[in-house]
Structure 1
């Protein structure tokens, strides 16, 4: 199992607008291809202009297959276009995590 941990940062004052745009146009199609994330939340302390989501995959091949299907979906492409036009996002940091040998989450 692997975890895909993603942190996105929005321009100050735009995280609510970005979440509304994503909630309407991105969330349904992303869940269709990736399933439900373990976590999807806005940061409440620290960098309050950011949010984090963590997705679980069987392995790197499972992640690659699901993300390729998402990337190829015209609805996802339309969401990405809307997001880029809105210009709310300023950075993205992705990390792939492997569970510790003693963790059975």
Structure 2
């Protein structure tokens, strides 16, 4: 099992616009294609203007197959075009995480 932790940073005042667009157009697609979202957050203290979301996959191959299928969906391509047009992003960071041997959920 791996977790894909994605952190997006936005220009001040633009995060809410992007989150609204994401919720309407991307969230349904990501749930359909990516499967298990284990967290979706916005920053309230510390480094501001950020969204962090975490997706669980069986393996890197599972992640790549799911993201590739989503990327081919015309609705995803339309969302990406609207997100680009919005011009809200300043930075994206992506980390692949693996659980430690002693960790168990519960």
Within the alignment, does 1:94 sit opposite 2:94 as a pair? yes
* Secondary structure of 1:31's aligned partner: helix
Shift of 1:52: 0.2
Partner of 2:38 in structure 1?
A: 38
Q: Aligned ranges for residues 43-62 of structure 1 at < 5 Å? A: 43-62=43-62
Runs of 4+ in 1 over 2 A off after TM superposition: none
Structure 1 length as normaliser, TM-score?
Answer: 0.96
What's the offset of the Cα at 1:30?
A: 1.1
RMSD value, Cα: 0.8
Where 2:37 maps in the other structure, the secondary structure is: coil
Aligned match of 1:67 = 67
Measure how far apart 1:29 and its partner are: 0.8
Q: Decide which moves more: 22-31 or 77-86.
A: 22-31
Structure 1 unaligned segments of length 5 or more: list them. none
What residue is the counterpart of 1:5 in the other structure?
5
Q: Which runs of 5+ in 2 are unaligned?
A: none
Distance 1:80 1:46 in 2: 28
Q: Tell me, what secondary structure is at the counterpart of 1:26?
A: helix
Q: TM-score with structure 2 length normalisation?
A: 0.96
Task: Give, in angstroms, the shift of residue 28 of structure 1.
Answer: 0.8
Equivalent pairs counted in the alignment come to: 105
